[in-house]
Chains A and B, each alone.
Chain A
Amino acid sequence: MAGGGRHRKRKLHFSKIYSFRCGKASFKEDHSQIGGPGFSRVVYCNEPDCFEAGIRNYATNYVRSTKYTLATFLPKSLFEQFRRVANFYFLVTGILAFTPLSPYSAVSAILPLIIVIGATMVKEGIEDWRRKQQDIEVNNRKVQVHNGNGVFDCTEWRNLRVGDIVKVEKDEFFPADLVLLSSSYEDAVCYVETMNLDGETNLKLKQALEVTSHLHDDGNFRDFKAIVKCEDPNANLYTFVGSMDFEGQEQPLSPQQLLLRDSKLRNTDYVYGAVIFTGQDTKVRQNATDPPSKRSRVERKMDKIIYILFFILFLISFIGSIFFGVETKDDLQNGKMERWYLRPDDSTVYFDPDQAALAAICHFLTAVMLYSYFIPISLYVSIEIVKVLQSTFINHDIHMYYEEADKPAHARTSNLNEELGQVDTILSDKTGTLTCNSMEFIKCSIGGTAYGRGITEVERATGRIRGSPLPSHKLNEASLSEIVTGPKSSVKGFNFSDERIMYGNWVKEAHAEVIQRFFRVLALCHTAIPEVDEETGKVSYEAESPDEAAFVIAAREVGFEFYKRTQTNISIRELDPTMGKKVERVYQLLNVIEFNSTRKRMSVIVRDEEGKLLLLCKGADSVMSERLAKNGREFEEETMEHVNEYADAGLRTLILAYRELKEEEYKRFCEKFNQAKSSVSADRDALMDAVTETIENDLILLGATAVEDKLQNGVPDCIDKLAQAGIKIWVLTGDKMETAINIGFACSLLRQGMKQIVIGLETPEIQSLEKAGDKTSIRKASKESVIRQITEGMFLVSSSSGSSNVFALIIDGKSLSYALEDDVKNMFLQLAMGCASVICCRSSPKQKALVTRLVKAGTGKTTLAIGDGANDVGMLQEADIGIGISGVEGMQAVMSSDIAIAQFRYLERLLLVHGHWCYRRITSMICYFFYKNIVFGFSLFLYEIYASFSAQPAYNDWFLSLYNVFFTSLPAVALGVFDQDVSARFCLKFPILYQEGVQNVLFSWSRILSWMFNGFLSAVIVFFFCTKAVELQAFNSDGKVVGLEILGATLYTCIVWVVNLQMALSVSYFTVIQHIFIWGSIGIWYLFLVVYGVMSPAFSTTAYKVFVEALAPAPSYWLVTLFVMISALIPYFAYSAIQMRFFPMYHGMIQWIRHEGQSDDIAYCDMVRQRSLRPTTVGHSARLAAKRAARKKHSQERNDHYG
């Protein structure tokens, strides 16, 4: 019952049991800065309305993440639009089209621009509206706030003000940064889950000041008054300096009292807190950088091509203007008219021979407008349309739909689809991304015997590749699956199965006594709190970390059920081997010496029912082995062997040991320990460390546990595929180094035989400096040490280049902060690039973002960040592509990501299939767009040569403006949406195909320029063949000759045919839609010609009846079309045939394989795949290969030895 639970908890004083965490804060040097610059914030708790609070005018608690507001939308988005050079250019030409300079009518020029801009703005608006919805949801969450009379009312988050007193209940998020005043516990501690901030899954213990800890009821706050002075808003999550003036006494405040927004209250019924930072001032918001607008690499390159086109455009306009100027000047010489029919004597300024220079300048503007058809106006909008459609493919891909959570993939911005095909480095979060954030007890080694038949994800993946049953599990498949799917698997956190131990069978084992002690340690040595369901009697646990829970659960499942904890006692039910039934035992809890990252172990001291004093200890193998007693090393060798095996399989291992204490020994310890504990000096922790050191010694080894930090489904496979595709994978995690390394092993990013370069600052010199507390010297020494380690690492890497040595870089957060400094970071990057895997542990959100930026800027390649928590937001935004995992950890990561997927494994399909396709489609489409516009633009220019550069277009106005819209764009859009070089199956079968994107071979300058050249060639062929064919002679049997309008329409017909057929040639995957679009576009041209031709001559001008009357009845028109069409396509056709035969690209080879029907020939496919596969360095394929090589070497050596 809740009431009972509360009562029970109230009585617990954790602060007395815990050794380290609940220390008293003391004034440190930082506190002297309060009131000074950077520390000027003053908060009047419980008086948000008072005058002093009013004049300070702190930010409201409203949080805004949208790009636009209602007022700024129009100007800001228009500005965004016209920042694109091409759009700005079209705006200028659109305005100029209203002047007499224009070679065509203004309406036909401005209409496409309006359509293009409008469509883009609507899209922007819709996207921002979605963000707004999210903001509204967050800002309108409810919280209880003190209204002044000792009563707490519900109000929305956005209404909170600095100084408000709020009450937050269990499992609620904190609405702002609060100073903890009191909690449901007597000693005002509370547990906080900060997963959204730093990704750490263990609960943090916070404790209020003693002076406020008595405020347990709403009514207590009626007259509560306090003044908090503290630092100004900043982004550092782990520091807080302040003081509280309460009842006339100045009390120091530390991070221990600060509850951060977006973290969650756990295991505590309620807390009271005073609001210190609101809205944008909160630490989590300060950490959030502005959502940057991302543009893909391809698009940035496309901009460059557009600049090139602009250059060509201005160049030919300039050339044209010079010729025009010269010819115009020649028209009138000494009053004698040359081209008299132009009346140069009585001319406008645009054609005035007397002012030829001015006329040439005006002509330049006109020409710039005329040749605007070089710039594909519809390119941007076509790309946007294509990307939206591509995104719907991604969103609707059934293979990326996570059925269990009903979550499909969701491309939140469609800007980056093709970037997915170019990823060079993946930066991944760990918790919740690679792992499911659940720990499972899976194996153990007790008394030198390994137990546990569960199979880890890694073993499963390696086993699958090997294609044979796992050697260590020689059971047949049937019994194996029986065990895996047995009834135990329903227990969360427990995946252990071994009939030798379970169901009370352990008593029959050889080391039954050791096993008993082993599980007792698991049941006693922890800080979890049991919760008994009154109805079923089932016990569940609330632990600080999931692995701790896994231990207690494991103990329970084996038969050592921990069910009750009081201030001083721990009660367990266990099987008594002599009586053969369950008995309840109560252990008196004397001390808890907790785990921390330096100690790497945890101990409890208990007194059992017989009065024996026991020290139970669990810890990392590195620290435990040196603490074993001489007579306690009985099973050491076997155990260590097992531990290594487990660690290589990516399991978290802990060594369990115990010792019996003598009464007087404990007494001595107790005395010293209490002395150390109550000291208030700065080196209190060190003192306590020293004391505990003395007692955690001479331990007797019991065994080792292996907990699987459960990887998400398919993660090793996915990583393997990605590694085969040549993508580098970095892991950035807020977790501990050991954990990170374990996961590295689990997903085959690390393996035995890989040289680990570990960069850390846990060296004795620096620790001693830290004790001295001189900040500058710590900094200096730390930096020096980091630089030294990096140089050493680089030396190692460079000295072994060429050999088969593979390196892994592991760096912790503290060192990282030095390694990321400007003068070191390039060295660091260089070292990291030389390593096959990089793992950064204990990194803050900001560091994650900085690392991402470093990789992005340093390598110049595409980076992809993937994460699921709010601590990954910075990284997601910084990377070229941010992928959010829409898992359990809230929505922040998803909201700031570009694409959200439900599981890490979908990344494989997202990148290798969709990424590759999108990249290919977009690049082909862009190349094609440039091609078709160059064909058209150059045909205009070539005509100018024959029109004395007077800027007379060869085509009718509406032919001109509709070229990009109707007759050529749709097939390109269809190509961008539907084309695929090889099917999804082949994309996954030949992952190296992905390198086409990474190396950008489809969008290299040579490819782009050859497409442009192809366009130029087509234009020349079309223009000259057309004009030569219809030049002078009668055009039809009626003796009529070709005029401007007929030549224009003929040229245009040929161009429409040529560019559409060119499209048909470059499509590699025809769907009905492509047929409809390609042939439809050509059909529409004829239809348009007819329809436009029958409109009144006032509107259709030169196109009036041109098709019906002149073109259609004339056989020469059709013959010319056919001829020009074929000749213009020959160059490309010959080129692609030769390339396919002699210089095939990788996709060409795969197409060939499929075409020849050899895809079923496994050996053959393997040959192609193997031979094109670069040696990968990470992933389980690589692990297998390395193992094989090692075994071969080993046997060879043996042979040598015996031979």
Chain B
Amino acid sequence: MKSPIYVYYQISNFYQNHRRYVKSRDDKQLWSPKNERSSSDCKPEDFTSNGQPIIPCGLIAWSMFNDTYKFSVKDKVLEVNKKGIAWKSDREHKFGSDVYPKNFQSGALIGGAKLNSSIPLSQQEDLIVWMRPAALPTFRKLYGKIEVDLEPNDNITVIIENNYNTYSFGGNKKLVLSTTSWMGGKNDFLGVAYLTIGGLCLFLAISFILVYVLKPRPLGDPSYLSWNRNAAGHLN
């Protein structure tokens, strides 16, 4: 596998697109330190028990994925680069470079990952990736990039720290390593579908041609008309 090799985690049966979940964030707070007070959308992860605003607030941030993977090939540790895994626009225009996590995961119930409160949100790319809600209940998210080539038949050892709770809702977790082409990752669907629809078109075209050649249309045959077929349509 040629670098870059993308490392994904895949979770199933996780409704990141649940309305309560999607709404449970405060974009203003993420962007500027002036808007520290969490919006009510973030409930119940908006304020700590003593009234301090939680930054970043809301369920999405609170439930951030926190499994960790350590890769090694032939006992050589593979570095996983976590820079550049989030969309550039998010890093530059949605997550402030002067907004730091505050009071995060300080409540009684700890959801997921903790954040280093000395790094501004714009550099917390794991968070930024997680904060873009997935469209469907089974989704992949970018964990990082391995920037060395892997040879065939290499054995990759992965040490997984299984922190994230998917048992309660019966979800699976998967780890995916993938390269990309100009079209992105591998998915046979589009190819198969193109061929199928193309075939269907061809079939239709041929059958229409056959019909045209073998059985020319009886032009202007009025017996097709509804009012000629239907005697009730007659005047009187």
Contact = CB atoms under 8 A, between A and B. Distances in A.
Nearest to A1165: B220
A325 to B, nearest CB: 14
A946 B63 CA distance: 20
B168 interface: yes
Interface in B163-198: 165, 168-169, 178, 180-187, 189-190, 193-194, 197
A103 interface: yes
A1035 interface: yes
A1044 B133 contact: yes
B184 A1036 contact: yes
A342 to B, nearest CB: 6
A957 to B, nearest CB: 12
B47 to A, nearest CB: 12
A915 interface: no
Given A1001-B226, A1109-B89, A1048 B135 contact: yes
B139 A1149 contact: no
B158 interface: no
A341 B44 contact: no
Interface in A479-517: none
Interface string A1012-1033: 0000000000000101111111
B236 interface: yes
Contacts of A1183: none
Nearest to A1114: B184
Nearest to A331: B169
A336 B165 CA distance: 13
A1127 B235 CA distance: 44
Interface residues of A, number: 91
Contact of B180 (A1001, A1034, A1127): A1034
Given A1034-B6, A1042-B135, A1156-B219, A1127 B197 contact: yes
Given A340-B169, A952-B22, A1110-B87, A1029 B180 contact: no
A1098 B200 CA distance: 46
A1176 B235 contact: yes
A498 B190 CA distance: 88
Given A1033-B185, A1172-B222, A946 B136 contact: yes
Interface stretch (A455-463, A697-705, A814-822, A1140-1148): A1140-1148
A984 interface: no
A1126 B227 contact: no
B104 interface: no
B4 interface: yes
Interface stretch (B10-18, B48-56, B149-157): B10-18
B235 A339 contact: no
Given A337-B168, A1137-B208, A1039 B186 contact: no
A1032 to B, nearest CB: 5
Nearest to B133: A1044
Nearest to B132: A1043
A1101 B135 CA distance: 16
A1 interface: no
A640 to B, nearest CB: 32
Nearest to A1101: B27
Contacts of B162: none
B31 interface: yes
Contacts of A946: 17, 135-137
A294 interface: no
Interface stretch (A412-420, A466-474, A1115-1123): A1115-1123
A1046 B132 CA distance: 10
A1121 to B, nearest CB: 12
B159 interface: no
B36 interface: no
Contacts, number: 234
Contacts of B83: none
Given A343-B59, A1097-B93, A1168-B222, A1039 B197 contact: no
A338 interface: yes
A832 to B, nearest CB: 11
B197 A1043 contact: no
B182 A1029 contact: no
Nearest to A336: B168
B114 interface: no
Given A348-B43, A1168-B222, A1126 B197 contact: yes
Contacts of B21: 341-342
B208 to A, nearest CB: 6
A190 to B, nearest CB: 48
A1201 to B, nearest CB: 33
B80 interface: no
A1136 to B, nearest CB: 12
Contacts of A1042: 134-135
Nearest to A947: B17
A1116 B184 contact: yes
A1084 interface: no
B235 to A, nearest CB: 6
B222 to A, nearest CB: 4
A953 to B, nearest CB: 9
A1041 B11 CA distance: 13
Given A1033-B184, A1033-B185, A1036-B184, A346 B87 contact: no
Contact of A1031 (B22, B62, B180, B187): B187
B15 A948 contact: yes
A1033 B193 contact: no
A1155 B25 CA distance: 61
B59 A1123 contact: no
B220 A1123 contact: no
A1158 B217 CA distance: 15
Interface of A: 103, 336-343, 346-348, 350-351, 726, 728, 833-834, 836, 946-948, 950-952, 954, 992, 995, 999, 1001, 1025, 1027-1048, 1097-1098, 1101, 1104-1105, 1109-1110, 1114-1116, 1119-1120, 1123, 1126-1127, 1130, 1134, 1137, 1141-1146, 1149, 1152-1153, 1156, 1158, 1164, 1167-1168, 1171-1172, 1174-1177
27 contacts: A336-B168, A338-B169, A339-B18, A726-B235, A947-B17, A950-B20, A1028-B189, A1029-B190, A1032-B187, A1033-B140, A1033-B186, A1034-B180, A1035-B184, A1038-B180, A1041-B8, A1041-B140, A1043-B132, A1044-B22, A1098-B28, A1104-B89, A1116-B183, A1116-B190, A1123-B190, A1141-B211, A1152-B217, A1167-B220, A1175-B235
Given A1029-B190, A1034-B180, A1039-B185, 6 more contacts: A340-B168, A950-B17, A992-B227, A995-B233, A1105-B89, A1130-B204
The 3 closest A-B pairs by CB, nearest first: A1033-B185, A1034-B185, A341-B63
